[in-house]
Every structure is written in C-alpha cells, then in structure tokens.
Structure 1
Amino acid sequence: MKTTSRFPHFGTAGSLLGASLLALAIAMPASAQGQTSQQSPPAGQAQAQSADQVIQDWPDVSKKAAQAMMEKYGQPQGVTPKMLVWEDNAPWARTIVYGEEIDHDFPMPHKDVLEQVIPYDVPADMFDDLAEYDGSVIAERTKGTLAARCDKEAANFLAVNLANDIVKGEKSIEEARQAYADAMKAVMAGDPPEITQAFTFEVNRGFAGNPGETIMDTAEQ
C-alpha cells in the first residue's frame, strides 16, 4: 500500500525527518518535556519583556512617553526597535511612541515622540489651515484620520480639540495657537484645563475616509 507523507512538500526526506522527530519526542522523558515548556514564557509576558527591553536604549523623552502609555493602556500590540504601537486604545484609534525624537518649537521647544490618532474627516480646504496652526497635527484625507504628535497625551488632546475648533469655524488659526499656549501654561502650573484631558467633541468611531473620485475610464484599457 502506498503511504502519504504528512509533510508532502518535503517528500521522502521530509517523511524521514518527521518520523525521527516523532521518535525523539516519544523517547524524551516527561520531566524533560515539562522543563522545556516551562522555559517558554507566555506570549503576553514575552511581549512585555520585549517592550521594556526595547525602550532601555531610547532617549529619555521617548522612554518616559512609552512608560506612561504602558502604565495607562497596558502592553503595546506592536513592538519594533523604533516604535511601540497600541491599536484601539480608546479614546484613540491608535497610539504610537517613537524612539526617535523630533524637535518642535511650538508653543515652546520640546520633542515630538507620541503620536495619537482618531477617525476624522478633514475637509480638503482646511488642510492648509491645520498645517499653519500646528505642524505636528497630521490629517490624512484618504484614510480619514487626524493625528497629533507631541511629548505628552495632554498636549495631543489639546492639539486635536483646537484643530476641531478650527475646522468647525469656532476659532481662527491665531486664536487656536494662543489658546494652545495658554492651556499648556496651565498644565505646567499643575492646573490642567479640561481641554487637555479629553475630547471636547464627539469622535466618530466609524470609517471617516475619503477614497476620492475615479477620473480614468479603466474599461478602455
């Protein structure tokens, strides 16, 4: 009778290898198997160790931001040598801490390391206004997101709330910039205003993207 290999893409060699591994597993004492399983930490624990290890070599501002986010939102879902990523960490859709520090002088010199994102449909005619208001407020029309990047979460809440005020016509660019500076002074004085602690508007949790409009007739190709 013809037998079928459990590892068909390996052929005969694969069958021999599979048989050898099976024999080895059977011959291994149960105590040794238990020791092997005990040496492998749970996936969540391994992830936690990885995040903690990664940030050890990061600059101080990045490290402090990462520690603050881990304390508030738990371990990140994504860990690379250059960033930590949290998905759907309400009230945000995404939070990213970067190991790279970006110099930013508005409203005072600091390092941008913490980026936080919400779904938001920014009208095309408001992109220039938002860029003039704060170069670290990032709108993506196709994806339908609005993000702020600073060094602390309070500053990101503030930046997004004031960006919404600009989009809704409730503040001019100059008024929003001054409001930002005034609020950050209060934060530094130990009296953070509500606008730095939560969203002052209802955030749409659904898809807010704009895929654009097709102008090519693909049927002719």
Structure 2
Amino acid sequence: MDQEEKVKTASTAMASDIKVQMFGNAEKITKTTENSEKIHSIIEKWNAMSKKAAKATIKQYGPPNEASDSRLIWYCNGDWKRTIVYRDEIPHDFPQPHTDVIENVINYTVPIEKYTDIAKFDGSIIVERTRGEVSSRCDMEAANILALNLMHEIVTGRLGPERAREKYCEITSAFMMNRSTPTMEKLQFKVATKPVYDTDTVLIADEMLQEARKKLHELVDENEDKIH
C-alpha cells in the first residue's frame, strides 16, 4: 500500500467514524430466518455438543437469522442482542470439563478497572470495550446466564472473583440436582437496548482530519441522493 492509498484509507476511516457517531445506524441485523432444510444439513455434520446446543436454541427461539457451515446466529432473541452457536468447540474445565459452543451477547459497559477481576472469574466472558458489549460462552444458555449475572455482581462490587467462582460452582451443582436456580433462568439486571460505544481518545489528528471532513461531505451527499 503506497502513501497516497494509506492517506485515503485513513481519511475514509475517519469519515466513517464521524458519520456513525453523527447519524448512528452502525449495526444492522438480519431480520429474515434461514431455511430449516439448510440448517438441518449444516448441523448434522457437527459434533454432539454443538448439535445439541443448536437444536436447543432452535427449539427455544426458532430458526436462526444467519447460518453458515461454522455457526448459526440469532439477533434480538429474548434478552440477547445476539446468540451464536458454533460448530467448533473450545475446551474449558471450569467449573467442570465441557466445551464452549454457545455465546450469548448483551450491551454492557464494564469499567476498565474491573477487567482483571472478570478475567480471574471466568475466561469465557468476553468484554468488548469499544463495542460496548459483554458475552459469555459455555455449553448451554443457562450457564451463560449465570456467568453474566455473576459478572454483574463483580462489576457492582458485590462479589470478588474468587467468591464469584465459588458461587458459580454452588449454583451449577444445584442446577444439576434439579434444585431452584433463578440466576440460571433469567438475567437479574436490566439490559441496555442500545450499545454505548467507548470510542476512546483521538491521539493522531493532522491533515487527515481535513480529508476526513471532505469524505464525510461526500458520504452525506450520497445519502441525500439515495433519499431523493
């Protein structure tokens, strides 16, 4: 990539950032659902745990909005911003050996000072700082609900990571013995309907900013032309 192309790329990136922050509409979801025959042909090739998670999610939420050989994706299903069931399994031994195959995503802002505690609690909780999201991956949705509820307890200062791990084990054991476990049934906190992006701080600003503004005007003109 030559210097001119680098400047054009940086200018386009800046203009896109300004456009998204001004006009929104950064995230688009697929509203249509996939054909059941296509889904069946995909998951029949998967391993047992991935296939089980896929069938359970389809039973609860209906067919996914997107499907490929490696994953099924639902948008805005229940409390979730996004749910993904994966073909490829991730081995995980906490609190007992299993594979992570389902990921549930919510809009959630985690203070930076809590990142380490969350990582100490459960390595399958993923914090997306810029995107304003948190997700949990496990073998079943109920386990993700529990993990996110305990993550919220850590963020709000009610639990430390070690106690959260203990509670995860206690509640999971109760769940396996068919006892009442409300924290595995529903999120115990209010979930934001819209993301709050953490755009961080501009540290590089020079002539590219001027180019970005020009590019922004071009994008605005394009939008107006589409409207008319």
**Cα distance in 1, alignment partners of residues 65 and 207 from structure 2:** 42
The AA in structure 2 aligned to 1:183 is I
1:91 to 79, 91, 94: 79
Note if 1:143 corresponds to 2:131.
yes
Alignment of 1:53-68 (within 5 A): 53-68=41-56
Say which SS state the counterpart of residue 214 (structure 1) adopts.
coil
1:176 aligns with 2:152: no
Could you tell me which residue of structure 1 aligns to residue 105 of structure 2? Answer: 117
Residue 199 in structure 1 maps to residue 187 in structure 2: yes
Q: 1:54/1:212 Cα in 2 relative to 1: closer, same or farther (>3 Å)? A: same
Change (3 A) 1:85 1:182: same
CA RMSD after TM alignment: 1.4
Query: Which amino acid in the other structure matches residue 52 of structure 2?
Result: K
Q: Secondary structure of the equivalent of 1:112?
A: strand
State how far apart, in whole Å, the 1-side matches of 2:180 and 2:134 are.
Answer: 23
Corresponding residue for residue 160 of structure 1: 148
CA deviation after TM superposition for structure 1 residue 190, in Å: 1.1
Amino acid at match of 2:192: N
Number of residue equivalences: 178
| CA–CA distance in structure 1, aligned partners of residues 168 and 208 of structure 2 | 52
Aligned-residue sequence identity (percent) comes to: 38
Structure 1 unaligned spans of 5+: 1-42
In the alignment, the residues of structure 1 paired with residue 37 and residue 78 of structure 2 have an alpha-carbon distance, to the nearest angstrom, of 24
Tell me the CA shift for residue 208 of structure 1. Answer: 2.1
TM-score of the aligned structures, taking structure 1 as reference length: 0.78
CA separation in 2, counterparts of 1:148 and 1:218?
40
What are the residue-to-residue correspondences of 1:19-30 with 2, within 5 Å? none
1:219, distance to aligned residue in structure 2 (A):
3.5
- Alpha-carbon distance in structure 1 between the residues aligned to 2:79 and 2:165: 24
Deviation at 1:103, TM superposition (A): 0.6
C-alpha contact 1:62 1:98 (8 A) present in aligned 2: yes
SS at 2:35 equivalent: helix
Change (3 A) 1:103 1:217: same
Unmatched 5+ stretches in structure 2 = 1-31, 210-228
With structure 2 as the length reference, what TM-score do the two structures score? 0.75
CA drift at 1:136: 0.1
Structure 1 residue ranges, 4+ long, deviating more than 4 angstroms after superposition:
none
CA distance in 1, matches of 2:111, 2:101: 27
Larger radius of gyration: 1
